[in-house]
Amino acid sequence: MACGSCLALLTLAAALPGLAGEAPPVLVLKAARLFDGKSEKLVAPAVVVVREGRIVELNPKALPAGAQVLELGDATLMPGLIDAHTHITFQASGDWKQDWIDWEQRSLPEQALDMVAYARATLWAGFTSVRDMGSGDLFDVGLRNSIARGRVPGPRLLVAVAGLGATGGHCDITGYRPGFLLKETGEGVADGPDALRAVVRKVVKNGADVIKVCGTGGIMSVTDDLDTAQLTQAELDAIVDEAHALRKKVAVHAYGPTGIKRALRAGVDSIEHGLFLDDEAVALMKARGVVLVPTMVVLSSDSTEADEKGMAPQSVEKARRAAAAGDASVRLALAKGVRIGFGTDAGVFPHGQNAKEFSLMVRAGMKPVDALRAATSVNAALLGVADRLGTLEPGKLADLVAVPGNPLLDIKLTEQVRFVMKDGVVVRNDAAGK
């Protein structure tokens, strides 16, 4: 973290409820049913044996001697959920102008402690792993490392450090008179292939796990149109080539078809938002195995209407245009067999409400089981962690959540998480009052 006191203060949050403790030697979870992260159907009943932070057996013939048994009742056990698109180091209130003032008036240590609360809310909601898509002052790196060290509670983080983009684009700092701000250019902003290669190297040097790129305009950036392409083909080619050479995946924020297709031709790994897809873009995505992460909850009409307070007029109009586009792109992608991942843009709306995305995915035409797969096995593959996460199998890390009833019959049950385990440690168990 850029500020030593920020990292030190993060450790104070160890006193917060939900911090991981020590797991018993052998733990057995029992529930009415189980979704393993990949199958079409649920397994019933469900017994999962956990030892030393890993799953060792499913539905054994006999329980290990001396095991601690947790009875979860009429619930469905699932892999720990994965959100591929969050902003876990801030949280908007809906009054954007006031948010900016509040943020600038808070010290870096205070901002750091706010982030701990956002991380805990995310974990409490059943999301044991998330990808953070852009922060500042290395807050995301500090939070990731503190969680990994067991100093604060939160999901496993993969971080981008800063979003890459062009001068005046969505990843830049815009909307203020020249000379007003001490820092007037986004940390990941550069122009030209060579300069953007250098930025890739810089964010990786500073701890990035993934390269996040702003390929088009966005809702909250006030000097661009929503769907304008902001990077040339040569610039995107250079970013992706450098990132892949460093074994980092590339996620591109893109709304308009031109920016989306440039990103796809460059060889990106995922398209974030993808609101205005066309047939050519979808065909490219399918052919190249690129994942669409639609972030539907933040683009829903309810969300955008609630967030218009305090927005710049340009952003209000773009938000309405985004909401009006509805589910069309997701429906088109589904019809053509494009892989759909799970992402929310949490932070633009309150952390801990990530599961609202599931019902919107189903509304757009996804089967409930495919929506669940998006947040488990599909996202695990996208994030490059499928060897240890995303499915319930012997040898995988023991990240598990439980929801009441059967989410294949009512996908909104995913919003009622009652049990969370991460790395074999129970961090939430409503039945036990924890």
Rounded Cα–Cα distance for residues 227 and 325 (Å): 12
| Overall CATH class of domain 21-79+390-432 | mainly beta
**Letter string b/e over residues 287-311, b meaning 16 or more CB atoms within 10 A of that residue's CB:** eeebbbbbbbbbbbeebbeebeebb
> Given this model, what pLDDT does residue 171 score?
80
- The residue among 331 and 319 whose pLDDT is bigger is 331
Write down the architecture of domain 81-383 according to CATH. Alpha-Beta Barrel (3.20)
Cross-strand bridge partners of residue 189: 165
**Span between the terminal Cα atoms of the chain, in Å:** 31
> Given this model, what pLDDT does residue 15 score?
42
> Given this model, what pLDDT does residue 175 score?
73
Rounded Cα–Cα distance for residues 213 and 134 (Å): 9
Looking at the predicted structure, is the pLDDT value of residue 184 above 70?
A: no
CB atoms within 10 A of CB 71: 10
> Given this model, what pLDDT does residue 54 score?
97
- Tokens 């440039």 -> residue: 262
pLDDT in tens, 373-412: 999 999 999 999 999 999 999 999 999 999 999 999 999 9
| Token pair belonging to 176 | 């203020």
Rounded Cα–Cα distance for residues 387 and 206 (Å): 25
Same fold, 21-79+390-432 and 81-383: no
> Given this model, what pLDDT does residue 9 score?
46
Looking at the predicted structure, is the pLDDT value of residue 304 above 60?
A: no
Looking at the predicted structure, is the pLDDT value of residue 230 above 80?
A: yes
Phi, psi (5° rounding) for residue 205?
-55, -40
276 residue type, one letter: F
pTM of the model: 0.91
> Given this model, what pLDDT does residue 19 score?
53
pLDDT in tens, 34-81: 999 999 999 999 999 999 999 999 999 999 999 999 999 999 999 999
Q: What is the DSSP string of 215-263?
A: -B--SS-TTS-TT-B-S-HHHHHHHHHHHHHTT-EEEEEE-SHHHHHHH
Looking at the predicted structure, is the pLDDT value of residue 356 above 90?
A: yes
Mean pLDDT for the stretch of residues 336-358: 96
User: Is there a cis peptide before residue 25, judged by omega within 30 degrees of 0?
Assistant: no
pLDDT in tens, 5-39: 454 444 444 444 445 556 568 999 999 999 999 99
Q: What is the DSSP string of 18-48?
A: T---PPPSEEEEEESEE--SS-SS-BSSEEE
Q: What is the DSSP string of 286-305?
A: HHHTPEEE--HHHHSHHHHH
Phi, psi (5° rounding) for residue 150?
80, 20
- Cα–Cα distances in Å, from 299 out to 237, 258, 281? 29, 20, 20
- The residue among 378 and 305 whose pLDDT is bigger is 378
Domain boundaries, the chain: 21-79+390-432, 81-383
> Given this model, what pLDDT does residue 12 score?
45
Mean pLDDT for the stretch of residues 222-226: 80
Mean pLDDT for the stretch of residues 77-105: 88
pLDDT in tens, 233-269: 999 999 999 999 999 999 999 999 999 999 999 999 9
Strands 81-86 and 127-132 come out as parallel
Q: In whole angstroms, what separates CA 312 from the centre of its chain?
A: 26
Name the range with the highest mean pLDDT among 9-18, 266-275, 323-332. 266-275
pLDDT in tens, 128-140: 999 999 888 899 9
> Given this model, what pLDDT does residue 311 score?
72
